[in-house]
Structures are given as structure tokens and as C-alpha cells.
Amino acid sequence: MEVDCIAERQFWRSRYAFVMAAIGSAVGLGNVWRFPFVCYKNGGGAFLIPYLIALFTTGIPLMILEFSLGHWARGSPPYCFLKANKKFEWIGWFASLAPFVIASYYTVVMAWCFAYMIYSIDLRWGSDANLFFLKHFLNATRSPAEIGSIQIPVLLGLVVVWFSIFVILYKGVSRIGKVVAVTVPLPTILLVILTIRGLTLPGAMEGIDYYLTPDFSKLSHFKVWLSAYAQVFFSLSLAQGILITYASFLRKESDITNNAFIISLADAGTSFLAGFAVFSIVGYLSLMKGIGIENLGLAGPHLTFVTYPTAISLLPFGAWLFGMIFYIALLAFGIDSAFSMIEPLATSINSKWKFSKGKATAIACALGFLSSLIFVTSSGIYWLDIVDHFVANFCLVLIGLLECISLGYLFDLKKLREHANEVSDITIGRWWDFLIKFVAPLSLLTLLVASVVENISVPYNNYPTWCLLVGGVMPGAMIFILSFIFANR
Ligand code: PHE
């Protein structure tokens, strides 16, 4: 592949479209169900210190790196890396395939949100949201080893989600620009509404206290710092080929550095706001039920599909409406992250094998839909947990590290800095090289080693070893090998 073969290069209509699309990718389910919980677990208000340090020393510099590479090389991620060095094409493939794996389960969580949006109408979960979620809705088996059958309501939601992704992507980036003009501001407004509703409930302040009371002693814990880096990394959609692909659609004279700051700060701000929406209502629930906040179940799916619906049902008026608002917000936050995960692969297929954009998108979506099916079975929730844990903790961090090393050491990094400075409002100095060459790779390497050690010493969530191998190690190994195969074709 000597030249990028995208027949007709497409462009964002405006700077606004690009910034919105990148914010859309960054802001997603992670902001609503991951950040508030991670923050409260790791020192509350004090967590903002490691978080902001991670954001400024690793998150934003890497975002500038990815934007500069995409904008300088103007092509799909494999092409961009190839242009940097003949030997690097596989890194681009690796980075395009990893978000594809994330999409396979991310879309299933969106399918749950879709079902719950409809269930909100009559508060279908009744008085025991936990029982409803696990037994009636998911029909969950006891372990991932018992696969179980496909759950039809989830499958229906999944079809809707994948079909939407296809419709949004197949026409190219001008349509993405139109979609994100709605799917970014809309859920943000809804989140503000939910926050106001939450804060005006009794017990809200206790919830916020829980969320933000700073515990500075936590800052001496190594794990708190790791959590901060991992959260920044996941939330900004770094190391996924996404930002590279999006930047490749920018016109020649487009700002890079300032945009990276705007996007990162918008993402961090949304996370912070989501904490108020979530913890105010959790405080209310705790007051109404007389259960301590720490016993309410605040992580991931449990927060979204058990704790939150329970609280919604207790609202004095308009319970169904606030339920719908919450799930519509999640769907709108999620959809632009979901399609951004498919875009790098679709662009890479389009560019490498000269399929039309429509065909390449259809191939990527069909494969994505098929890989989602395992998560639609009764054991899906366990597989989702396993795949998410390993891909988010290993693949993402590994790709970030590969980017820093390949571009920082085996390429003339100065070229990218000068490129960014030529087009940007804000110029970056040699300090940026230092961050990309030393600070970022060192933090990522630490993160990677710590995760490996932890996962070897304690099997994740006590799942059977073969399940961890199949769900955790296999997808990563497969896309790693595929990257080399694709690069050598
Ligand atoms: N950043 C998204 C979120 O917070 C998730 C995501 C991860 C999107 C990786 C793309 C790539 O939900």
C-alpha cells in the first residue's frame, strides 16, 4: 500500500463538526457510569489531582500526537503508521481492530439502555430492580461457563443499534457531522436536567458529600494514580485509531492543539457533571431506603440498571419521564462513541482493499454485529465484564505505549510537532517531546506491568481460568495476529 487509496478524500464541513465528533467519541457511557464511581472510590475530590495530572501530562499530549499524525499523513490509521515508517503498518491495524472489539460489547450495553428506555414508560422493573435485571431481562446464568440462550429483547435492541451505526457511517463524514450536532448537545442538556432534579431531592447533599469529600491520604496510594491514568485513557478514546482517523478528515489549515484542549476539557467537564447527576439521586435513594451509600452498588451495569431505576421509581412525580430522560441521554452519549469505534476499521478496509465506503462500513458492521451475539446470551453479562476488563486494561494501554515508542523513538517526532505548530492556534514546545518520549510511555508501562501482575496473582472476579483465556486473552491475541496478517497482505 504505497498511497492511501481512499478514492475521494472526505472532509469535515467545519471545525465545529470535527470538535463535536471527537467530543462525541470521548463522552460516552464511561463518563456516566465509570468516572463518578472511580472518583468516589479513589479519594473523592482529592482524585481530581491525579486525574488532572494524568490528563495534562499524558491524555492531552497523546491526543495532540494522534491528531498530528492523522492530519500530517492524511489516511487510515494503518496508512498513517506506514507513512511514518514502512515497518509500522501493523500498529495502525492493531489500533483499528481494538475499538472494534470494544464496540462488540459496548453496543450490547446500548441495547440494554434501549430496552430500559421503553421499560421506563411503565417502570417495568417494579419493586425489585435487581431481580428484574438479572432474572427477567437478562435471564443470567450463574457463570460464564453456562452460555445459555439468546435473549430476544436484547437482540432487538442490538439490531437497532447496529443498524443506526451503519446508517450514520456509510455515507461518510458529512453525515457524522450532522449527527453529532444533535447527539452531543442533547444528552448534555438532559444531564443538566437530571442534575437539577437530583440536587433538589432530599438526601442529595449527602450523596454529593460522598462523591467529593476529599481524602488526601489516598494520594499516597499507587492504585489511585493508576486509576486516574486508566480513566483518562479510556475516556478520551485514545489509542484506538479513532482520533487519527477523525483528524485525517480535517482540511489542510485546521487547528490541532487548541482543539485537543477543548475536547479533553469538555470530556472531563461532562464526567464531573455526571457525578452530580448520579450521586445526588444515589443520596436520595440512600435516604429513602435507609441503606448506606456504600451498600447501594455503584459500579457499572449495577448502577445503571439496578440502582438508578430503583431511585427513579421512588421519585415523587414524573418518574417515567426522568427514567426516559436518563436512558435517552445514555443512548445519545453512547451512539457517537459506538460509531467512532467502527469508523477506523471501515476507513482502513476502504483504503486498503478499495471497497467503497458503503461496502467497507457494511462489512465492519456485519462482523461487529456477529461478534456482539455472544453478549446477547444469558451469560453475556459475564463475558462483557471479562472482555471489557482485558481490552480496556491491556490492549488500549499497549497500543498507547506502541504509539509513543514508534513515533517518539523510531521516527522524527519533531516533524509532527512542527506540523502541529504550523496549523494550530497554540504552539507546543520541546516539553511536548519530553512528555511523549518519557512521561507518557513510563506511566503507560507502569500501568501495563501493574495490570499484568495483578491479573496473574488474582484471577479477575474469580472467573474460571479458561473463560479468562477465551474472553480476555484470545480477542487481544487474535487482533494482534490479524494486524500482522493485514499489514503484510
Ligand atoms: N470514551 C468512551 C466512553 O467514555 C468509550 C470509548 C473507549 C470510545 C474507547 C472509543 C474508544 O464511553
Summarize pLDDT for 369-390 with one digit per residue, the tens: 999 999 999 999 999 999 998 8
Atom of ligand 1 minimally distant from the CA of 34: 4
Predicted confidence band at 394 (pLDDT cuts at 50, 70, 90)? confident
Q: How far does residue 103's CA lie from ligand 1's centre (Å)?
A: 9
Q: Has residue 462 got a pLDDT over 80?
A: yes
Query: Closest Cα to atom 7, ligand 1: which residue?
Result: 237
Closest CA to 309 of 123, 34, 104: 123
Q: How far does residue 333's CA lie from ligand 1's centre (Å)?
A: 10
Q: At what angle do helices 396-409 and 413-423 cross, to 10 degrees?
A: 90
Atom of ligand 1 minimally distant from the CA of 236: 1
Pocket of ligand 1 (CB under 6 A): 25-26, 28-31, 99, 102, 234-235, 237, 240, 242, 337, 340-341
pLDDT above 90 covers what percent of the chain?
84
Predicted confidence band at 2 (pLDDT cuts at 50, 70, 90)? very low
Helices (H) and strands (E) in the chain, counts: 26, 0
Note whether 24 and 180 are within 8 A (CB).
yes
Q: Has residue 6 got a pLDDT over 80?
A: no
Atom of ligand 1 minimally distant from the CA of 333: 12
d(CA 366, CA 364): 6
Q: How far does residue 234's CA lie from ligand 1's centre (Å)?
A: 6
* pLDDT digit string, tens, across residues 342-352: 999 999 999 99
Q: Residues 435-448: what's their mean pLDDT?
A: 94
Q: How far does residue 229's CA lie from ligand 1's centre (Å)?
A: 14
Q: Has residue 70 got a pLDDT over 80?
A: yes
Note whether 344 and 479 are within 8 A (CB).
no
Which of 93-102, 114-123, 428-437, 455-464 bottoms out in mean pLDDT, i.e. has the lowest? 455-464
Q: Quick one: cell of 13?
A: 464541513
Q: Quick one: cell of 45?
A: 475530590
Query: Closest Cα to atom 4, ligand 1: which residue?
Result: 30
Predicted local confidence at residue 391, as pLDDT: 87
* C-alpha dihedral (120, 196, 299, 264), degrees to nearest 10: 120
Half-sphere exposure of 260 (CA within 13 A, CB side): 29
Q: Residues 191-206: what's their mean pLDDT?
A: 96
Helices (H), 120-253: 129-131, 152-169, 173-183, 185-199, 204-212, 222-235, 242-248
Residue 91 to residues 173, 196, 340, 416, Cα–Cα distance (Å): 24, 45, 18, 17
- Angle (CA) 102 106 107, round 5°: 120
Residue in the block written with cell 454485529: 369
Predicted confidence band at 8 (pLDDT cuts at 50, 70, 90)? low
d(CA 68, CA 255): 10
Q: Has residue 222 got a pLDDT over 70?
A: yes
Which of 7-16, 39-48, 54-63, 139-148 bottoms out in mean pLDDT, i.e. has the lowest? 7-16
Q: Residues 61-76: what's their mean pLDDT?
A: 96
- Chain mean pLDDT for the chain: 93
Which of 7-16, 25-34, 119-128, 242-251 bottoms out in mean pLDDT, i.e. has the lowest? 7-16
Query: Closest Cα to atom 9, ligand 1: which residue?
Result: 237
Predicted local confidence at residue 299, as pLDDT: 78
d(CA 434, CA 21): 29
Q: Give the contacts of 231 (CB within 8 A, at least 6 positions apart).
A: 30, 34, 35, 38, 51, 54
Q: How far does residue 289's CA lie from ligand 1's centre (Å)?
A: 33
Q: Has residue 341 got a pLDDT over 90?
A: yes
